[in-house]
Amino acid sequence: MIRLPRPSVRNQRRLTRGIQLVLVGLLGYGVVAGEPKAITNAAISLLITATPAIFERNYRIPIDPWLGLWITLAVFLHTMGSAGLYAEIGWWDHLTHAMSASLVAGVGYTFARAVDLHSDRIYLPRQFFFVYVLVVVLSFAVVWELFEFGLDVAADATGISMPLAQHGLDDTVRDLVFNALGALTVAVFGQAHLSGATERGLKALRERRGRER
């Protein structure tokens, strides 16, 4: 299995904390400037970045710092885009689509791997995961584009500005291409980086259930 270089656990946590501080700054800016969109995006992003810590503290499920950083970075890139980088940097939307798609792929892979490990009756070969990740992400991407199209229809009908919008067929196709690239990255590298995290999570859940009994 192919492994990507990764920072140390300490550096991963430092990066996560640094990104969260920037999000707090954006939240403060939104409050001071009276920008509801900045407040909403920053608050939701902060809540999402706190999810790994909540799982560890409340449910004693260890979350790999690499996965926590991955989640934090994905929502951070989107929040920065909503703060103005989507309009200023043409390729920022492509970056966030690829990153978000890779996160969806990671979640899909982790779920399937957990089912494979948990049940002795189910065996999923490695080749299945590659195809499965691509199908999950592309299906999610199509649903997302339909959701954006629905917001466009609602905006036209009501005259209310929506937080998301499509920008033509070319933009939709480019979004799907970068979604596929994000999925492909996880399909190639995911087994090396996510298998261990899934196994540790299942082990912690079994130990917790054993203690509760």
Name the average pLDDT for the chain.
79
pLDDT above 90: percentage of residues in the chain: 3
> Which alpha helices (H) appear in the chain, and where do they start and end?
9-33, 36-49, 51-59, 65-80, 86-88, 92-118, 126-158, 169-212
Query: Residue 160: its pLDDT value, please?
Result: 77
If phi over 0 gives left and psi between -120 and 50 gives alpha, with beta otherwise, what is residue 5? beta
Give the per-residue pLDDT at 137: 86
pLDDT of residue 113 exceeding 60: yes
Higher pLDDT, 201 or 8: 8
Q: Is the pLDDT of residue 96 over 80?
A: yes
Residue-level pLDDT at 24? 92
Q: What is the pLDDT of residues 164-174, one digit of tens each?
A: 667 777 888 88
The backbone torsions φ and ψ at residue 84, rounded to the nearest 5 degrees and listed phi first, read 140, -15
pLDDT at 206 over 80: no
Is the pTM higher than 0.75? The answer reads no
